[in-house]
Amino acid sequence: MTEKKRYFIENLWYAAAWEYEVAEADNKLARTICETPLVFYQGDTDNYIALDDRCCHRAAPLSIGRVEGNCIRCMYHGMLYDEKGQVVEIPGQQHISKSLKVRSYPVVAKGGMIWIWMGDKDLANEDDIYDFPPLSDKENWRGFDKEAYLHYDANWLLIVDNLADFSHVAFVHTNTLGGSEAYAYSTLPENIEKHDDGFSMERWHRDSNAPPFHAKVIPASEQGDKLDRANIVSMRLPGVFLMETLFAPVGWNEEIDGRSNVREYRNCQFMTPETRNTTHFFWNYMHNKDMDKPEVSASLKESLLEGFMEDKLFIEDQQKLLELSPDFVPRAIAADEAFVHFRNKWAAGLKAEDAANPLIHKENKRSIL
């Protein structure tokens, strides 16, 4: 037996899928998370169920099986699994060994997102999920008609790095989300707070022009007005990014002026490792003005997607270069403070789980290949 390297913290809630993804997949969504193939389906009591997507008999995928109430049937030899992963029926066989089972996982739906706990079930507490209230508050916030998903051919921590340093907005997104290169020179991270599970910070761009994505959706009467712009960010393990964006009149003071004349957005992005080199990326962008105009949400989605594709180009090429140069040692700059803290906390979590539950590779003497 030899020790295995741990790549993922198990005792965390991971964003797994938007609820509509399961429905659109004929109620059987196959998705790999943390290099674990899973099947998600909804039971007849509207509960979501997640099992290992691998029949214990001959490793056939349960995701091409058939949902029957709260159970799922493997359509290779007909074995029926309950929501706990236990085989409860085998055609033509009376006795069923308790060893015939697959692993089940705690799952919770909040704000249209299905979350999964990959570790010890006894430690799973749904109150620990970083739920994003605007996702559920349809009265005060309007998001996309359908929440968005992207797939990255890159490690999720490279996406975290990207979101932790907004100076890239000035160069990568000059003509989309940023507006000008001045953003990198005239703004600095402020009020950085380091937490046990991540960080929070804000970044102000005062007396600036509206960036292109915002200018596209504001009335003609506001076009050309200077404004104060704030991005207030929270990033939590394993890859939960929540952001409050404000566009206010120049010199705005919240305590004195309130927010009645402020245009606001709420941004959520959830990065979940599919494998150590690929990532599931879920996102939505909400606004609280002109909520009766669907063209506003459509424009915001188009603009944000354009920006994310600009990021994607850099991040996926980073991944390729890092795979070709495993001995590369990055040089630090001042703007790295937040994501270095995040990576240190991730490394500490891996080390703690290694100490409590070392991964051991056991030789498989009954392989069917």
Range 165-191 burial, b when 16+ CB lie within 10 A, else e: bbbbbbebbbebbbbbeebbeebebee
CATH code, residues 2-127: 2.102.10.10
CA distance 267 to 244: 7
227 CA to centre of own chain: 31
| 17 contacts 29 by C-beta, under 8 angstroms | yes
**Alpha-carbon gap, residue 224 to 170, rounded angstroms:** 19
Q: Please give the helix or strand (H or E) that residue 80 lies within, else none.
A: strand 80-81
Return the biggest CA–CA distance within the chain. Answer: 77
Query: What is the CATH topology of the domain spanning 137-352?
Result: Naphthalene 1,2-dioxygenase Alpha Subunit; Chain A, domain 1 (3.90.380)
Residues forming CATH 2.102.10.10 domain(s) in the chain = 2-127
Domain(s) labelled CATH 3.90.380.10 in the chain stretch across 137-352
Digitized pLDDT (tens) for each residue of the chain, 369 residues in all:
566 899 999 999 999 999 999 999 999 999 999 999 999 999 998 899 999 999 999 999 999 999 999 999 999 999 999 999 999 999 999 999 999 999 999 999 999 999 999 999 999 999 999 888 999 999 999 999 999 999 999 999 999 999 998 888 888 898 888 878 888 888 888 999 999 999 999 999 999 999 999 999 998 888 888 999 999 999 999 999 999 999 999 999 888 888 988 999 999 999 999 999 999 999 999 999 999 999 999 999 999 999 999 999 999 999 999 999 999 999 989 889 999 999 999 999 999 999 998 888 888 888 888
Read off the pTM.
Answer: 0.94
